[in-house]
Structure 1
Amino acid sequence: MKADERSFSPTLRANLVFMLNKATEESNRQMAVVTGPHGFSIKQYGLLLLLEAEGPQAQIVLSEKVGLDRTTVMTTVDRLEKQGLVERRPDANDRRKNCVTLTEAGQRMVNQNAAQLQAAQDELFSELTKAEREQLHQLLNKLA
């Protein structure tokens, strides 16, 4: 539904936090259409993307890079590990630590869903020009 077709009150439209929350809800809804049938969330998919792009990571490093607390990352990794998408391996430099590694199944999951997630993202931001998308991205990087 396009923004001008929604019937939010002008009072609520004037509230930045409310509108940011509504945009987040719509983003989550569209991403869940892609990730949900595969049994994982966009947060879990983000972790898979990070591992694909940057290779094995210690859980504490993952926590810092994705901006989530250690407990949430541990729970997320547990779920992905149960699905066979990641595995924990001893850190080669410090045997007290585990590194989280993307499995072949995890790599396939990233590859199989990349186009669908890009299409969902394109749909979500279809009302914005390229310049507006770039500006939104810059602003979100300031806030997040």
Structure 2
Amino acid sequence: MAEAPLSAIHRLPSWILGRAAARGRALVAQALAAEGMRMWHHVVLVAVRDLGPIAQADLGRSVGLDPKDVVGVLNDLQSAGHVVREPDPKDRRKNAVSLTEEGARLLKRCEKAACEANDALLAPLTAAERRQFMDLLGRISGTE
């Protein structure tokens, strides 16, 4: 009996991880969209909360986002009242980005939605399997 088409590809860990990652991104993106947010907006809000006030250029480097894309995301977030850009007290030539109270409230909702989406992704696993899976992913990705 012949193998199913692409079965060799579909058995590769890299293929399976890519499919799982795509499913996870889709679930999180859908959850964030319900809050009117996109993935990069969420990432930037988390970084601003954790690192802020932070210079705009440093923010981009910290999340791995191109400077022109950082400007677009920050423009969206600032126009919605979620962040403010003010002259950096350490270097007035730079803008420092801070989270507003409204941005902090939105971020809490987004984090809850993202956690629920990740719970849905891992729903087929038991609690012990989830811990093991996360440990294994950390080892594979070098982030443990």
Scaled to the shorter chain, the TM-score interval is: 0.7 to 0.9
The 5-angstrom pairing of residues 83-98 of structure 1 reads: 83-98=80-95
- TM-score relative to the length of structure 1: 0.81
Deviates more, 1:44-53 or 1:94-103: 44-53
Q: Paired residue for 1:5?
A: none
Code of the aligned partner of 1:132: F
The correspondence for 1:45, drawn from 42, 46, 50, is 42
- Tell me the number of residue pairs that the alignment of Structure 1 and Structure 2 aligns: 136
Contact 2:35 2:109 (C-alpha < 8 Å) held by counterparts: no
Q: Paired residue for 2:131?
A: 130
Contact 1:125 1:133 (C-alpha < 8 Å) held by counterparts: no
Sequence identity (%): 27
| RMSD of aligned alpha carbons | 2.2
Structure 1 unaligned residues grouped into runs of 5+: 1-7
| 1:29 correspondence with 2:30 | no
DSSP-derived class of the 1:96 partner: strand
DSSP-derived class of the 1:88 partner: strand
The correspondence for 1:12, drawn from 9, 15, 40, is 9
- TM-score relative to the length of structure 2: 0.81
Deviation at 1:45, TM superposition (A): 0.5
Code of the aligned partner of 1:44: H
Structure with greater Cα Rg: 2
Code of the aligned partner of 2:27: Q
Code of the aligned partner of 1:21: G
